[in-house]
A and B are shown apart, each in its own frame.
Chain A
Amino acid sequence: MIRQTAMVTGASEGLGKSFAFELAGRGMNLVLVALPDTGLPDLSRFIRINFNVQVYVYETDLTVAKNCEAIFEGLSALGVSVDMLINNAGLGNWSWFADKPLSFYKTQIDLNITGTVLLTRLFLEQRQRPAKAYLLNVGSLGGQFVVPKKQVYGATKSFISYFTRSLQLELSGSGVQVTLLSPGGINTKPELLVLNHSLKGLSAASILEPETVAREAIRGLLKGRKEVVPGMLNRVMLLLDHLLPGGIKKLIIRQKLKVILKQHN
């Protein structure tokens, strides 16, 4: 049997790392992509030894267009085609619009939007495209609930949501399964661990571990789901969002915003 190959971007930590373990556990070869000096060589060595799969490593910056191309050129030269692409790399923030420098937003958009679009395109036009291919784009539940302090991040995830849904229409029946992952809060990066740790009640209960999100996402992708919302509580909240009349939602958000603004001042 020829092993299938999955590419995971942003693979060095958090959800990306969990995707790497989940897919290696399923016996897939991996292409791991992350920035230099993020521990990718150690991670790939560990996975090779413990899961007995091939791991290719690309330490590169996806905000540079030609780096995206170089990955697929490199793989093509090795005779490797990618069966599954997990567009996971992304840059988040939780700050007022005025608080981050211009360069931050440029990088955020380049990575979350441009990187995802370019890699998707390159993935779909591989010379030896497999008969059945899988594409998973990591959006966010935040792409559906509009909240303050997530202005650009939330907008990039809305982009991912539209992009993915539109591709689903274009590619239906083509042998490419396209799935949107819309996770809520995840205990991923160290700095988020601090933030999440201070949450209470419902928001604390809805936070998931990254391996749970990765497992549910891959299961949904292989089953052919259009969208995966991990976690029962998140699904309930989404349902409520669809059921509640707009006026009530506005009221709730305004209440929340008042609290946030009070903390700010």
Chain B
Amino acid sequence: MENQTHVFVSGASGFIGRSLCLELAKRGFIVHALCRDVQHPYLTRHGNIRYFKGDMLDKDSLLVAMQGCEQAYHTAALAKMWCKNPDDFYQANVIGTRNVLETARTAGIRRLVYTSTCGVWGPTVKYPMSENDPRIGGFPIHYERTKHLAELEIRRFAGQGLPEVITVNPSRVFGEGPVTDSNTVGKMISGYLRGKWRLIPGSGEQVANYAYLDDVVQGHLAAMRSGKNGERYILGGEDISFNDFFARLSALSGHTHRLFRVPLPVIKAYSWFEWFKTKMTGLPPVFLPEFADRLSKDQKYSSRKAIRELGYHITPFSEGLKNTIEDLKKHQK
């Protein structure tokens, strides 16, 4: 059976990584979890999880952590909106991925699942995007650009022997877990519950795809089990508009807050102000122009390939949202 197989996981304190570690551990895998800080408060504790202090940019630390592993999940990434030094995105997401791939080969790992993002496609036109669809616009967002470049590294690598590499592309992930920098949906929900989130951008009709964390974790395991070498799989959920999102959030949480519609040009103007402030002072921005532009676009994705080939399952959005609200309420008290 799968028991006692040693598995490497990078990004063990991340929103997806920590859940993935726990799920693997529960299934009897011995997890070699890489993190920069082994005392990190977000790390999950389980007898089958061994923490290795290390960094994607330090290949020696990667090799130590991968020793004896047959499989690897590379979930670590820099998924913030902004960094003081934009080169950090390139270092973490591209060089880091290259280091993980090369070290995995040295360590004799047989299969590797890489956590990418639907952000490599970005905005959509009319119908939900699927794996073979092209990207429509450029890459003004650092995170998306460097994840795209990382996918090019993966593609180059996938045709050259072991390890086999399977890419998964989660959409906007939400679920039970800490409200981290990259957990933007969690920020929105917890803000709403506390009465702090009060705005809907533009008409609120813009649609995004929301993937439930448990589904995404199971999707990772399924990709490891039955994903094809060199292929990528969208792991998404339902396409939901802002209006629908907050209507359901209000109904499920019992909290009703009046929301204000802010016209997109106002948001754009504000984002330029933030951009300028950040340029001048180096303080982190609340919001940036490239993200303001994105608010006018739909981001719809189809998980059909993963459902068909991996047996991927989508939890109804309301059910996932209900669980997330309960979890946040538990921790906010």
Residues of A within 8 A of B (CB): 17-18, 21, 39, 42-43, 46, 49-51, 187-188, 190, 193-194, 197-198, 209-212
**Option from B87, B127, B138, B145 in Cβ contact (under 8 Å) with A49:** B127
Q: Which residue of A has the minimal Cβ distance to B125?
A: A50
- Contact residues in B for A198 (Cβ distance below 8 Å): 87
**Option from B87, B90, B133, B145 in Cβ contact (under 8 Å) with A46:** B133
> Could you tell me if A51 and B125 are in contact, using CB atoms closer than 8 angstroms?
yes
> Could you tell me if A209 and B137 are in contact, using CB atoms closer than 8 angstroms?
yes
For the complex, is B132 an interface residue (Cβ under 8 Å from A)? yes
For the complex, is B139 an interface residue (Cβ under 8 Å from A)? yes
Question: Within the complex, what minimum Cβ distance (angstroms) separates B207 from chain A?
Answer: 14
Find the residue from A39, A187, A197, A211 having the highest chain B CB count within 10 A. A197
> Could you tell me if B136 and A197 are in contact, using CB atoms closer than 8 angstroms?
no
- Contact residues in B for A50 (Cβ distance below 8 Å): 125-127
Find the residue from B90, B139, B149, B152 having the highest chain A CB count within 10 A. B139
Residues of B within 8 A of A (CB): 86-87, 90, 125-127, 132-134, 136-140, 145, 148-149, 152
Question: Within the complex, what minimum Cβ distance (angstroms) separates B324 from chain A?
Answer: 32
Question: Within the complex, what minimum Cβ distance (angstroms) separates A57 from chain B?
Answer: 13
| Known pairs A43-B134, A51-B125, A197-B145 / 12 extra A-B pairs, C-beta < 8 Å | A17-B134, A18-B138, A42-B132, A46-B133, A49-B126, A187-B138, A190-B148, A193-B148, A194-B149, A209-B137, A209-B140, A211-B138
Q: Dominant SS at the B interface?
A: loop
Complex Cα distance A197/B132, Å? 26
- Contact residues in A for B86 (Cβ distance below 8 Å): 197
A-B contact pairs, 15 of them (CB 8 A): A17-B134, A18-B137, A42-B132, A42-B134, A43-B134, A49-B126, A50-B125, A51-B126, A197-B86, A197-B87, A197-B145, A209-B139, A209-B140, A210-B137, A212-B138
- Contact residues in A for B149 (Cβ distance below 8 Å): 190, 193-194
> Could you tell me if A211 and B136 are in contact, using CB atoms closer than 8 angstroms?
yes
Question: Within the complex, what minimum Cβ distance (angstroms) separates B235 from chain A?
Answer: 20
**Option from B132, B137, B139 in Cβ contact (under 8 Å) with A193:** B139
Question: Within the complex, what minimum Cβ distance (angstroms) separates B296 from chain A?
Answer: 13
Find the residue from A46, A198, A211 having the highest chain B CB count within 10 A. A46
- Contact residues in A for B134 (Cβ distance below 8 Å): 17, 39, 42-43, 46
- Contact residues in B for A194 (Cβ distance below 8 Å): 90, 149
- Contact residues in A for B145 (Cβ distance below 8 Å): 187, 193, 197
Complex Cα distance A201/B15, Å? 34
> Could you tell me if B136 and A190 are in contact, using CB atoms closer than 8 angstroms?
no
Complex Cα distance A211/B137, Å? 6
Complex Cα distance A85/B134, Å? 22
Question: Within the complex, what minimum Cβ distance (angstroms) separates A79 from chain B?
Answer: 28
Complex Cα distance A197/B139, Å? 11
Q: Which residue of A has the minimal Cβ distance to B129?
A: A46
Complex Cα distance A18/B122, Å? 14
- Contact residues in A for B136 (Cβ distance below 8 Å): 21, 211
> Could you tell me if A209 and B90 are in contact, using CB atoms closer than 8 angstroms?
no
- Contact residues in B for A17 (Cβ distance below 8 Å): 134
Complex Cα distance A1/B134, Å? 29
Question: Within the complex, what minimum Cβ distance (angstroms) separates A44 from chain B?
Answer: 10
Complex Cα distance A51/B127, Å? 10
- Contact residues in B for A212 (Cβ distance below 8 Å): 138
The 9 closest A-B pairs by CB, nearest first: A209-B138, A50-B125, A50-B126, A42-B132, A211-B137, A187-B138, A43-B134, A46-B133, A210-B138
Complex Cα distance A21/B126, Å? 13
Question: Within the complex, what minimum Cβ distance (angstroms) separates A218 from chain B?
Answer: 15
- Contact residues in A for B90 (Cβ distance below 8 Å): 194, 197
Q: Which residue of A has the minimal Cβ distance to B86?
A: A197
Q: Which residue of B has the minimal Cβ distance to A212?
A: B138
Q: Which residue of A has the minimal Cβ distance to B133?
A: A46
- Contact residues in A for B132 (Cβ distance below 8 Å): 42
Complex Cα distance A49/B125, Å? 10
Q: Which residue of A has the minimal Cβ distance to B137?
A: A211
- Contact residues in B for A211 (Cβ distance below 8 Å): 136-138
> Could you tell me if A190 and B138 are in contact, using CB atoms closer than 8 angstroms?
no
Complex Cα distance A198/B138, Å? 17
> Could you tell me if A187 and B139 are in contact, using CB atoms closer than 8 angstroms?
yes
Question: Within the complex, what minimum Cβ distance (angstroms) separates A203 from chain B?
Answer: 14
Find the residue from B127, B134, B145, B152 having the highest chain A CB count within 10 A. B134
Q: Which residue of A has the minimal Cβ distance to B151?
A: A190
- Contact residues in A for B137 (Cβ distance below 8 Å): 18, 209-211
